[in-house]
Amino acid sequence: MAAVVAAVEAGVVAVASGRGCSTRLVRGLYWRLRAVLRRLRSERARRGRGGFSFHYDALSYALNFDDGRAAADIVLAPSCDALR
């Protein structure tokens, strides 16, 4: 990308000095071209990252916290009323 921007900048100087074009016109062309190149680069990067997407369903997510014991096997501490 940097090489393309450098080439465009060099081309802008050559066009502006060689053909007598309006500097404002050349600058506008430069900034539009630069914006298009950045947009293409960001779209290409987004496409590369967004290719793989994985979402858990509720059962798979719950299994991550399952230690193999059933809920009925867990002994809870007795309440204060049970100790009287």
pLDDT digits (tens, 9 = 90+) for 10-53: 665 554 455 566 888 999 999 999 999 999 988 877 776 655 66
Q: Is 13 exposed, middle or buried (0-12, 13-18, 19+ CB in 10 A)?
A: exposed
pTM: predicted TM-score of the whole model, two decimal places: 0.34
Which residue has 């090489």 as its token pair? 3
Which residue has 């900034």 as its token pair? 31
Q: Is 12 exposed, middle or buried (0-12, 13-18, 19+ CB in 10 A)?
A: middle
- Per-residue burial over 21-55, b if 16 or more Cβ lie within 10 Å, else e, is eeeeebeeebeeeeeeeeeeeeeeeeeeeeeeeee
